[in-house]
Structure formats: structure tokens, C-alpha cells
């Protein structure tokens, strides 16, 4: 019998759904509206800055916290956009994507056996980080809003708190639902976190991708939250650079010190030349980002309208790359059991890949007929996808 390698704490995890669906799309030649990544480049000058950095000798280890130029640019962006101050010297940490900021935050600040609350559906990296830390996750479902979008249910979070709870992980704007949480709900959540003296990991990688004139409000801006929040963001989604894996964590110095402690042993540092390019973008590319976000909003509108016309219930999405639809009507008169099965069939049968939402849930039942489409693609690709989806 083959030996059963692998540690218990990672037993529940297989290949990520994003890898599975992207491989399926590649295999079948389907349009990949599964994994969220753009199919065009970021600002040309930013790309040139990365080449320039390589050509001018910025090719050795960066300082552990990241190059100072980038930390300063991150702090400037945070203050310019949201009026929140961080000291580049000791309150900003550059990481290998938001993913490393997430895992280092959990590894550096959560003890084995402690409870960490995640909002369901959750991004997969949170639960893996919690498992690696030997902590226990407690999933709290988002509540559906009157408009059919979702928001954080602060009362449900309050009920889920145990004496062992040390951290709440929130993600706003939210992947996979595309929701932007209502400010009143965030204010309630902030009260709960303050009352129970919890740490908060706030994943804001979609901070710039908010539509219809709405502006993102960082978790750290709510009363009592700055000092307990580790904010995570990344260049991936703001500058169409998911392959650069350049992200950051922001928090008061004693918290960042602990994140750094874990991070220095996972990667030590991220790549150096991209840090120069991202620093440039943070200072100079706001206009480019506005244009990119307008394009995303147009894609959201086009895809949502077409999906509605094709008979899907489309949930409103106020931000991110994603829109969620219900496939109840398709499941009702078929042998297909749920969204996962449907998404496995889609690339081959319909030429489009999507992601089932239920895989991000401890209680999958309410999400079984919901699937996510990512629309960060060129308009012509969205058009092609739409013509294929109409055939369903």
C-alpha cells in the first residue's frame, strides 16, 4: 500500500479550485472566467520601471521590510486615498503578494488552539493559513441584503465568539461575491471587535475596484480599529500584475513586528525590481487605475445583462472582479447535483470556465446553486463568453 505522506493539518486541502479550473480551461480551450486575473497589462511606464530596475542593478535581496521607496509610496497612497497614516519605517511591510501577508499575519499572531473567525464564503488562503497555524476556524455566513448582495452579519460574528477567539478575518470588497459591505454593518462589526478586544485581518486587495462612484472605506478607519487591524493589500488587482506577487501589510509597529517575524522565514523578502515599479505606480498611476476600473464596470454591466437575459438570477456586484449567479433553474431539470459539478462540466460543454461558490464554505448548502464569473478580461473576450453562455 502506498505510504500516506502529508501532515494532518493540511489533509482537508487538495489542489485549489483556481488551479483546477484554470487547468480545465487551458485543456479545453475554454474562455477562463474562473480564476480572477486580467488578460491585459498594467501601465506601460510601470512595466518599463521594472525593466529599468533590473537593468540598473536592483537584483539582490531587498531589506526585510521591503525597499523604503515602496514603503513610503504605500504610506502616501493610504493617506491620499483614505486619510489613514502609517509610518513607512515600522508600520508597513512588503510581502510576496497579499497571500504571504495573510499567512504571515496568522502565523505571527495566532496561537495554536485559538479560534479565528472567517466570513463565509471565504477566500481559500485564510483557512489554509489558519490550519497551518494549528488554530481553529469558525465560519460565519454573510447575510444577504435586500438587493440580493451580501454584507457582514455583525450579530452572527458576536454569537460566534468564544473565549479562545483571537482574530477575525474580513475581506471587503469581497471575493467571491463582489459585495461591498454596508458601512453600518462594518461599524457594528467594529464595535464587536473592540468589545471583545480581537485582532482583525482586513484583506483589501480589491480596495480600488469599486464601482458606481462608491468609495472603499478601510476597516482601520472605523472607531477603535486602527490599532487592532492588520490591513493587507497588493499590486496584483490594482495594476494588473497578479504575476508580480508584490503585496503589503499595514498595522501599528508591535503588530507588524510579529508579521515580519513569520514572514522573514517564509520567503525572507520578495523580488526587488518589482518593488521599484510598484512604488512608481502607487505615486503616478491613479489616472490609469480609474480608466481600468471604468472598463471593469463596463464588463460587469455587459456580463450581468447578458446572464440575466440568458435566464440567470444575477446578484448585484458593487466591486472586485466577480459576479455571482444562481443556477437553480438549470439544476432543477437535470441530473447535475450542484455548482461544483456544473463548473466541472462547463469548460467542455459550454466553452466557459467559472468557479463554484460552495467550495469556499463550511456550510455549502445555501451556496450550492451559486457560481462565480470573473470579468477582468478584454471586452471582446467578455463578448465571446456571452455568446457562449447564451447557449446554456
Q: Report, in Å, the least distance between residue 21 CB and ligand GLN.
A: 9
Spatial distance between the Cα atoms of 257 and 253, rounded to a whole number of angstroms: 6
Contacting ligand GLN within 156-175 (CB under 6 A): 175
CA atoms within 13 A on the CB side of 88: 16
The nearest distance, CB 18 to ligand GLN, in angstroms, is 3
Q: Which of residues 233-292 bind ligand PMP (CB under 6 A)?
A: 234, 236-237, 242, 245, 247
Q: How far is the CB of 375 from ligand GLN (least distance, A)?
A: 11
Q: Does 123 bind ligand PMP (CB under 6 A)?
A: yes
Measured CA to CA, the distance from residue 356 to residue 34 in angstroms comes to 9
Can you read off the three cell numbers belonging to residue 392? 446554456
Classify 203 as helix, strand or coil.
strand
Residues in region 149-178 near ligand PMP by CB under 6 A? 171, 175
- Phi, psi (deg, nearest 5) at residue 151: -145, 170
**Of the listed pieces 86-94, 96-104, 182-190, 381-389, which binds ligand PMP according to CB under 6 A?**
96-104
Angle at 320 between CA 319 and CA 321, to 5 degrees: 125
- Burial bucket for residue 72 (CB in 10 Å: 0-12, 13-18, 19+): middle
Report which residue's Cβ sits closest to ligand PMP. 97
Indicate the burial class of 118 (C-beta count within 10 angstroms; 0-12, 13-18, 19 or more): buried
The answer to whether 47 and 41 have CB atoms below 8 angstroms apart is: yes
Closer residue to ligand PMP in complex, CB, 228/245: 245
Nearer to ligand PMP, 243 or 379 (CB): 243
Nine cell digits for residue 383: 463578448
- Give the number of other Cβ atoms within 10 Å of residue 330's Cβ: 16
Interface pattern 17-46 for ligand GLN (x via CB under 6 A)? -x----------------xx----------
Q: Which is nearer to ligand PMP, 25 or 306 (CB)?
A: 25
Q: Does 304 bind ligand GLN (CB under 6 A)?
A: no
Torsion of CA 238, 383, 300, 99, to 10 degrees: -40
Give the residue with the Cβ less far from ligand PMP, 86 or 123.
123
The listed partner (ligand GLN, ligand PMP, none) that binds 234, CB under 5 to 8 Å by sort, is ligand PMP
From the CA atom positions of the chain, what is the Rg in Å? 21
Does position 99 interact with ligand PMP (CB under 6 A)? The reply is yes
Applying CB under 6 A, the residues found at the interface with ligand PMP are 97-99, 123, 171, 175, 203, 205, 234, 236-237, 242, 245, 247
Applying CB under 6 A, the residues found at the interface with ligand GLN are 16, 18, 35-36, 175, 374
Amino acid at each position: 500500500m502506498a505510504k500516506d505522506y502529508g501532515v494532518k493539518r493540511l489533509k482537508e486541502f487538495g489542489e485549489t479550485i483556481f488551479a483546477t479550473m484554470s487547468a480545465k480551461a487551458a485543456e479545453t480551450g475554454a474562455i477562463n472566467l474562473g480564476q480572477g486575473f486580467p488578460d491585459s497589462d498594467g501601465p506601460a511606464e510601470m512595466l518599463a520601471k521594472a525593466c529599468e530596475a533590473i537593468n540598473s542593478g536592483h537584483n539582490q535581496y531587498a531589506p526585510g521590510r521591503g525597499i523604503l521607496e515602496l514603503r513610503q509610496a504605500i504610506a502616501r497612497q493610504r493617506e491620499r486615498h483614505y486619510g489613514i497614516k502609517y509610518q513607512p519605517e515600522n508600520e508597513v511591510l512588503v510581502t510576496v503578494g497579499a497571500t504571504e501577508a495573510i499567512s504571515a499575519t496568522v502565523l505571527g499572531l495566532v496561537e495554536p488552539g485559538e479560534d479565528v473567525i472567517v466570513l463565509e464564503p471565504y477566500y481559500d488562503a485564510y483557512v489554509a493559513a489558519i490550519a497551518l497555524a494549528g488554530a481553529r476556524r469558525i465560519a460565519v455566513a454573510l447575510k444577504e441584503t435586500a438587493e440580493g448582495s451580501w454584507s457582514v452579519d455583525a450579530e452572527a460574528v458576536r454569537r460566534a465568539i468564544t473565549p479562545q477567539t483571537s482574530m477575525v478575518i474580513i475581506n471587503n470588497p469581497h471575493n467571491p461575491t463582489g459585495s461591498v459591505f454596508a458601512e453600518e454593518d462594518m461599524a457594528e462589526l467594529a464595535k464587536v471587535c473592540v468589545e471583545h478586544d480581537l485582532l482583525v485581518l482586513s484583506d483589501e486587495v480589491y480596495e480600488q475596484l469599486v464601482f458606481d462612484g462608491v468609495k472603499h472605506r478601510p476597516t482601520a478607519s472605523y472607531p477603535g480599529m486602527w490599532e487592532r487591524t492588520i490591513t493587507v493589500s497588493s499590486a496584483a488587482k490594482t495594476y494588473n500584475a497578479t504575476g508580480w506577487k508584490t503585496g503589503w501589510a499595514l498595522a501599528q509597529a508591535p503588530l507588524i513586528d510579529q508579521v515580519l517575524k513569520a514572514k522573514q522565514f517564509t520567503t525572507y523578502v520578495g523580488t526587488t525590481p518589482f518593488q521599484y515599479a510598484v512604488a512608481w505606480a502607487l505615486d503616478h498611476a491613479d489616472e490609469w487605475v480609474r480608466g481600468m476600473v471604468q472598463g471593469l464596470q463596463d464588463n460587469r454591466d455587459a456580463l450581468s445583462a447578458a446572464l440575466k437575459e440568458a435566464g440567470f438570477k444575477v446578484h448585484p456586484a458593487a466591486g472586485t472582479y466577480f459576479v455571482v449567479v444562481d443556477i437553480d433553474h438549470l439544476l432543477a431539470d437535470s441530473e447535475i447535483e450542484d455548482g461544483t459539478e456544473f463548473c466541472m462540466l462547463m469548460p467542455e460543454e459550454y466553452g466557459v470556465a467559472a468557479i463554484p461558490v460552495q467550495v469556499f464554505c463550511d456550510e455549502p448548502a445555501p451556496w450550492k446553486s451559486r457560481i462565480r464569473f470573473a470579468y477582468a478580461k478584454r471586452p471582446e473576450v467578455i463578448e465571446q463568453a456571452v455568446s457562449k453562455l447564451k447557449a446554456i
